[in-house]
């Protein structure tokens, strides 16, 4: 919108010049915004507000008429932006629809119109197309991930009988979209082949194929619908625009009902000889009918915000989603008796166009060249593996960061991801105690993922134990190397998402350890660490802080290969349970952590952070229980220019308990003691976006009470909001 308005009022070169300045001056602060402001003498926020005012002035020109629309006012809240999509009215006055909102995930609901009661039927997975609803069934296609490969996925058909409260999976491992029930309880759906060629597949209720209807090769199938007689119509994209065809079930012949037009036609439905569809007119989506016998078109609605998601009830009512400023409600559209013919223009006049008589020119077709003119270009061997796409003026490991291991230092980072997304790499420089050089490579092209990591410097290598009896640092840069083989599996991707990750990691560091039995230093520590994680959680709504329901288990064993007498093994596990709170978007989280160190000359550091408000200990065995209750306090939606945007403020109350057998230095010697610790407090934090970066950063304050020494503590919270997916705390590894 803003781009179109700027092109109309100023010129078309402003945005091209801004992008050019970004590429030529990447180190300048806000090069894009500075370039635009120099060109138009206005800031981008001011341009945006001007474009909104212009759009309002255009939309207010066109009068709205809702005399033939009856709206069911189910969305009574102005805060949650609820939408009732794909409404269907049964013969016994049940209104079935898909309800979405900011606070709750998509849910199929049943509204009893006589009593006014609303019942939740079930929560679907990620829908890949619009659902089909009749007096008994809800049929839809949903996303299904592959067990291992992220970019290999499926779209399968499911069926729910809301009379019997029974859900059934129809197909498995297919690519079906837009399923509809046709005569004799058969199902028609759009099917795409591995080559991307679409056809109409007819299957039975068991998922067995009956027949396929092929389309001309130059059409891209988008949508299908049918009437009660089993006639199937389709909407496709062609080189000449949108076209609607009527298909024969006896052969692959088809007749053109409407088009082609370069218009955004969608939401088709067939009522005998009447074709219903939505199309943008006067810059709003409205409902139209096309009489296939007389070849005339009529505009049925002129609603102020538009209508969409049309359906035909069993008693031939036309239903749709009626949009307003705070969501949408189901509505019934009555067909007018007197119908004024409407002429569909091949191109819609753009919202932002020159108002002079010769000012508007329709956009040319994107299909300007013949497919035979296209030439294949082989990717250079180097680019098959290396494609540097971004950098950062700090050092961090992007893969470690995504796993929640936040280590950021002054320096620089280069990030590469090849064109086939099979190789991710990063290289960087950092400075901490000394200069550091880092490299990371992860290969994703085989069934197990293989990653290599190498760090040189940043800190110095350590000498532990021996005649000095305490650790010292040498002038030798620290060397740390890791190699990991892991197999990530996606066990389910519906409403409940479940992943299993098994891995083994080899690590090396050049620290030196004093061997008391051999009375010498042994340089180099080699470790082998098998571990696994199992995570299962429900899909989250937009305003959820954590999943409403879910659980995760993470465990492993870190074993020292070459210094078993000096350094013992570590067994560890972490479990998390997610439960809903008292109100919507409230979250209750329980974390349990366990760690055990086998006997050895030296105690190794714990793999977990201490509980909040306490310092770390040298533990032989450790058990931690954490209780967290979090809820959103406010959504300020506050932006300070392009510097920072405050999206949400969260309050979290916590209680931590710690039981351990730990070594304490008492009377000049180490003694094993049983320790019990606890703390309680609150955290007030905000989700912020700095410099319009997509990923939020969480900043906040933690205040609590240490129940052991009876003192208050205060801490500053800084973290990346990676834990929003898994519900992990920023204070635990």
| Mean pLDDT, the chain cut into blocks of 10 residues (733 residues total) | 83 79 68 81 85 86 90 79 94 95 94 93 95 96 92 93 96 96 90 90 94 90 90 94 89 86 94 93 94 94 94 90 93 87 85 57 46 67 78 83 74 89 92 95 92 95 75 83 96 93 96 86 93 95 93 96 88 97 96 93 88 93 97 91 88 98 86 95 93 81 96 89 40 35
Let me know: does 157 contact 143? Beta carbons within 8 Å: no
Could you tell me which residues come within 8 angstroms of residue 402 by beta carbon, excluding any fewer than 6 positions away?
A: 722
β pairing state of 449-464 and 496-515: parallel
Q: How many C-beta atoms surround the C-beta of residue 558 within 10 A?
A: 20
Residue intervals of the chain classified under CATH 2.120.10.60 are: 69-333
Q: How many C-beta atoms surround the C-beta of residue 615 within 10 A?
A: 6
- Spatial strand order of the sheet with 132-133 comes to 132-133, 137-145, 153-161, 166-169
> Each residue of 599-641: pLDDT tens digit?
888 888 899 999 999 999 999 999 999 999 999 999 998 888 7
Q: How far apart are the C-alpha atoms of 732 and 284, rounded to whole Å?
A: 50
Q: What CATH number does the domain located at 69-333 have? A: 2.120.10.60
Could you tell me which residues come within 8 angstroms of residue 391 by beta carbon, excluding any fewer than 6 positions away?
A: 412, 413, 414, 415
pLDDT of residue 515: 86
Phi-psi region of 538 (alpha: psi -120 to 50; beta: other; left: phi over 0): beta
Let me know: does 620 contact 663? Beta carbons within 8 Å: yes
Q: How far apart are the C-alpha atoms of 593 and 674, rounded to whole Å?
A: 17
Q: What does DSSP assign to residue 567? A: B
Largest Cα span, the chain = 103
Let me know: does 258 contact 298? Beta carbons within 8 Å: no
pLDDT of residue 577: 98
For residue 297, which of 266, 237, 257 has the smallest C-alpha distance?
Answer: 257
Q: Nearest 5°: CA angle at 62, between 61 and 64?
A: 135
Can the peptide bond before residue 260 be classed as cis, meaning omega within 30 degrees of 0?
yes
User: Model pTM?
Assistant: 0.86
For residue 625, which of 587, 676, 581 has the smallest C-alpha distance?
Answer: 676
């Amino acid at each position: 919108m803003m781009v179109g308005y700027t092109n109309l009022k100023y010129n078309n070169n402003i945005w091209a010049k801004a992008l050019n300045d970004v590429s030529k001056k990447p180190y300048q602060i806000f090069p894009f915004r500075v370039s635009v402001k120099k060109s138009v003498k206005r800031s981008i926020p001011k341009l945006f507000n001007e474009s909104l005012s212009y759009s309002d002035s255009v939309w207010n020109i066109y009068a709205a008429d809702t005399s033939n629309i009856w709206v069911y006012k189910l969305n009574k809240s102005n805060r949650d932006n609820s939408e009732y999509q794909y409404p269907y009215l049964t013969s016994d006055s049940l209104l079935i629809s898909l309800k979405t909102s900011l606070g709750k995930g998509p849910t199929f609901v049943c509204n009893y119109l006589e009593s006014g009661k609303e019942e939740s039927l079930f929560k679907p997975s990620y829908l890949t197309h619009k659902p089909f609803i009749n007096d008994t069934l809800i049929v839809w296609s949903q996303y299904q991930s592959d067990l291992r490969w992220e970019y290999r996925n499926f779209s399968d058909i499911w069926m729910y009988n809301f009379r019997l409260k029974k859900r059934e999976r129809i197909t498995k491992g297919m690519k079906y979209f837009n399923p509809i029930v046709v005569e004799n309880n058969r199902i028609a759906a759009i099917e795409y082949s591995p080559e991307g060629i679409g056809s109409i597949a007819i299957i039975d209720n068991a998922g067995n194929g009956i027949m396929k209807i092929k389309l001309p090769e130059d059409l891209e199938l988008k949508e299908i619908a049918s009437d009660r007689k089993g006639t199937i119509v389709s909407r496709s994209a062609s080189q000449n625009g949108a076209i609607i065809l009527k298909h024969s079930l006896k052969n692959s012949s088809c007749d053109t009902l409407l088009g082609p037009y370069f218009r955004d036609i969608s939401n088709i439905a067939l009522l005998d000889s009447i074709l219903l569809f939505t199309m943008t007119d006067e810059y709003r989506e409205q409902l139209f009918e096309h009489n296939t016998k007389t070849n005339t078109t009529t505009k049925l609605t002129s609603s102020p915000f538009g209508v969409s998601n049309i359906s035909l009830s069993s008693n031939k009512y036309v239903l749709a989603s009626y949009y307003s400023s705070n969501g949408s409600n189901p509505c019934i559209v009555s067909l007018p008796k007197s119908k004024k013919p409407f002429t569909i223009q091949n191109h819609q006049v753009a919202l932002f166009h020159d108002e002079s008589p010769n000012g508007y020119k329709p956009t040319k077709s994107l299909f300007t060249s013949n497919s035979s003119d296209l030439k294949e270009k082989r990717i250079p061997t180097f680019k098959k593996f290396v494609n540097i796409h971004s950098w950062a003026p700090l050092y961090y490991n992007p893969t470690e960061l995504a796993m929640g291991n936040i280590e950021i230092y002054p320096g620089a980072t280069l990030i590469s991801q090849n064109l086939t997304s099979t190789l991710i790499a990063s290289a960087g420089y950092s400075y901490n105690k000394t200069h550091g050089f880092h490299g990371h490579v992860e290969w994703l092209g085989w069934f197990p993922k293989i990653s290599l990591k190498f760090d040189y410097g940043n800190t110095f290598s350590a000498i532990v134990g021996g005649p000095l009896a305490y650790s010292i640092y040498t002038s030798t840069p620290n060397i740390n190397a890791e190699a990991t083989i892991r197999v990530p599996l996606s066990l389910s991707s519906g409403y409940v998402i479940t992943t299993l990750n098994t891995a083994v990691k080899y690590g090396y560091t050049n620290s030196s350890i004093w061997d008391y039995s051999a009375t010498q230093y042994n340089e180099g520590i080699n470790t082998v660490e098998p571990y696994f994680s199992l995570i299962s959680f429900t899909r989250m709504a937009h305003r959820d802080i954590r999943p409403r329901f879910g659980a995760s288990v993470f465990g492993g064993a870190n074993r020292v290969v070459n210094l078993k007498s000096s350094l013992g093994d570590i067994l560890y596990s972490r479990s998390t349970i997610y439960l809903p709170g008292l109100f919507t978007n409230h979250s209750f989280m329980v974390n349990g952590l366990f760690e055990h160190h086998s006997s050895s000359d030296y105690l190794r550091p714990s793999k977990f952070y201490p509980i909040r408000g306490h310092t770390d200990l040298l533990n032989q065995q450790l058990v931690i229980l954490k209780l967290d209750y979090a809820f959103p306090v406010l959504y300020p939606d506050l932006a300070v220019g392009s510097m920072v945007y405050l999206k949400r403020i969260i309050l979290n109350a916590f209680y931590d308990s710690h039981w351990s057998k730990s070594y304490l230095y008492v009377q000049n010697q180490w003694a094993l003691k049983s320790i019990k610790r606890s703390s309680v407090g609150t955290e007030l934090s905000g989700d912020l976006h700095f410099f319009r970066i997509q990923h939020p950063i969480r900043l906040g304050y933690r205040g609590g009470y240490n129940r052991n020494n009876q003192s208050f503590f205060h801490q500053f919270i800084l973290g990346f909001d990676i834990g929003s997916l898994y519900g992990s705390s920023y204070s635990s590894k």
